[in-house]
Amino acid sequence: MTTESIATVENSASKVPPPLPSTRELFVGFLTLGMIGFGGVLPLARRMIVEQRRWLTSAQFTDMLGLCQCLPGGNIINLSVAIGLHFRGVAGALASLLGLIAAPSAVVIALGVIYQHFQDNLSVQHLFAGLAAAASGLLIAMALKMLMPILKKPLPLLIACLFFVSIGLLRLPLLPTMLILAPLSIIAIWKLPS
């Protein structure tokens, strides 16, 4: 074999997508995610789904998350169901959902019982304030990672900035802002050349 043919074989092998996750792998993946995540789990979900397990590409993850954000309910719950459904149908959706909520449900019940006894303790109050700050940092990191693919595309970047300014800075109500800007963004992306 020549050096060129070896390089071609290595390059094609590295581009082979990983096998589809089984129902068990979906359950264990989302169970792990549910056990290590507290609050803002989306950055951890992206790392697991895109970077570690390579179930989806970055673009697929962003597209699926965008769809899940339009649905009622928590984004990570919707995302787990969508990914499970995508790979293994209803069984995959149930496995992903149950995996995601099993450990946190048990932990929240236990913490609720403990918190009743210690809620007036200043250290406990500081602990929860620190956890909220950490979750905010994780969400900002994920937002920056999701922003990277559109930095070279002015129209999607402009639309993202409009949403951020409208909702984040001007504090306009979410629903009317979405009802106005979402159709405009769809028309702009659809009609204007990329």
**pLDDT tens digits for range 21-80:** 999 999 999 999 988 876 678 889 999 999 999 999 999 999 999 999 998 888 999 999
Q: Are residues 94 and 27 in contact, defined by beta-carbon separation less than 8 angstroms?
A: no
Give me the helices (H) in the chain, please: 3-14, 23-36, 42-46, 58-70, 75-118, 122-147, 154-163, 174-191
Question: Which one, of 188, 182, 190, 193, lies nearest residue 66 by Cα?
Answer: 182
pTM of the model: 0.55
- CA distance to 38, 44, 74, per residue, from 84 (Å): 21, 17, 16
Check residue 191 and give its pLDDT: 78
Q: Alpha-carbon distance 12 to 16, whole Å?
A: 6
Query: Alpha carbon of 119 to those of 44, 122, 129: distances in Å?
Result: 29, 8, 13
CA distances from 95 to 27, 82, 190 (A): 5, 11, 36
